[in-house]
Amino acid sequence: MKIITRPLGMWQTNFYLLVNEATNEAVVIDPGYGEDQILSLIKPYQVKAILLTHAHLDHIGGLAATKEATGAPIYIHEAVKDWLIDPRLNMSVSFGQPIDGPPADELLYDGQRLALAGWELEVRHTPGHTPGCVSFVANDVVFAGDTLFQGSIGRTDFPGGDFDQLARSIREKLYTLPDETVVYPGHGPATTIGEEKRYNPFVRA
């Protein structure tokens, strides 16, 4: 199993490709802006699913192209499914590049377990940055989207944001993972749960 990471676009949003080298199958997480890079990275693989941690524009800018190229189903939490097709909600209209689809194929819920391309993923609903943020846990890693970063946390000043809810999500859904769990965030470098519990100045364990 291999994890390919690429920061894309003006916001340097982390695009993740989870590869099963034995079968040449893969799972995409958060296809942001950077269609050419995304299509080049996924070309050698059979993409089985497109997973979204949430639906802000910088995480879905390349969604339409990825969907068209792969035909893979799009997974997102029910609380933000409408954001995919509403440029106001996903904030793309504010930046003059409205995104109005494609819509979700599958809706995620807390505690759900996904078996995709040989990867076993647990869905953890981690609202706060948006009402429908989710994190994906796979063995000793977690893809945390814009919930938790190295030394920081997701913004809560956007529509639907809630600091208290975000802090609760981090403490109850992420800090409960083993300290050695590697955190792959929506922006910036990877970190670990243990490091954030000890040093993150915004949410203490």
DSSP at 199: H
How do the pLDDT tens digits run along the chain, 205 residues long?
A: 899 999 999 999 999 999 999 999 999 999 999 999 999 999 999 999 999 999 999 999 999 999 999 999 999 999 999 999 999 999 999 988 899 999 999 999 999 999 999 999 999 999 999 999 999 999 999 999 999 999 999 999 999 999 999 999 999 999 999 999 999 999 999 999 999 999 999 999 8
Where do the domains of the chain lie, and which CATH numbers do they carry? Answer: 2-199 (3.60.15.10)
Q: Answer for the pair 173, 148: CB distance below 8 angstroms, yes or no.
A: no
Provide CB contacts within 8 A for 96, sequence distance 6+. none
Q: Using CA atoms, how far apart are residues 1 and 95, in angstroms rounded to an integer?
A: 37
Q: Answer for the pair 77, 53: CB distance below 8 angstroms, yes or no.
A: no
